[in-house]
Every structure is written in structure tokens, then in C-alpha cells.
Amino acid sequence: MTAYSIGKFNEAAQRNLIRWVEDNPKLKNKITPHDLKYLFEFHNRRGLSIDLCRFDIDYYNEVFFPPEGNKPLTDHFVGIVCNILRHTLTSMGKEKLHITVTVRHKALRVSHWQTFYMDEDYKPKWKPDLSRKDFDWL
């Protein structure tokens, strides 16, 4: 994709990801509007950063902490994010994508990063319907 296409993709994907959180009854009350703006950050060269620490501290501790112990829930969250990225890409008429997805955790008051890779061979098991209001994932 060209730099222009990457920028357009990043904007559309960020809108779709924020809408997913806002429309999800299990997530929308677990993050402030201010923190939601920074939950998903796209960088043209570094890919997508997901800062799970933006969620309410009680929710974060219950669902994502410790990172090693709750890895399946983090993986599931990232899987849904990847499905939304793939859906955004195909809705723009694009086929290929190689993106690094980095997840930020707090481990003993130190940031802990876990990196995932999504490339053109990624085949989601389901296609998200972004118009639905019930993204029930936890």
C-alpha cells in the first residue's frame, strides 16, 4: 500500500476499533472517552499499538493481569482486533496487509510488550459485522 493508503487505512481501522469498544456493552463502561482515544494507536512504520493499561484498573486486573496468566484473553482480544483490521482492509478493496500489533501490559509497574504479526496469509475464522452492537467476547 502507498503511504496515502496506509494513512487512510489507519484512520478507518482506528474508527472501527473505537466503535467496536463503544458498542460493546462489556467494554464501553470500562474505559474513559479520553483513554479510548489512546487505546489503539497506529504508526506508519511500527504498526498498531494496543495499550491495555488504558482500561479501568479493576477491569484490567481482572481480565488481562498478569500477562502470562491471562494470555488467552489477551490473544482473544487481539484476534478480534485482527478480524476488524482485516474487515477494514477488505472493505477498502485492498487484499494485502502486513502489520505488527504490539500489546502493552503492566507487569510489576513496568511496561511489558507482547508483539503479534498479521500478514496477507491471515484468514479470520469469522468476519465481524461492525454494524452489530453485541460484540460479546468475554
pLDDT tens by residue, 64-104? 888 778 888 888 888 889 889 888 988 888 777 777 888 88
Within 8 A by CB and 6+ apart from 100, the residues are 46, 47, 48, 115, 116, 117
Mean pLDDT is lowest, of 36-40, 56-60, 106-110, for 106-110
pTM higher than the cut 0.75: yes
Count the Cβ atoms, other than its own, within 10 Å of residue 29.
10
* Band of pLDDT at residue 137, cut at 50, 70 and 90: very low
The answer, yes or no, to whether residue 3 has pLDDT greater than 60, is no
Q: Residue 33's pLDDT band (boundaries 50, 70, 90)? A: very high
Give me the percent of the chain exceeding a pLDDT of 70. 74
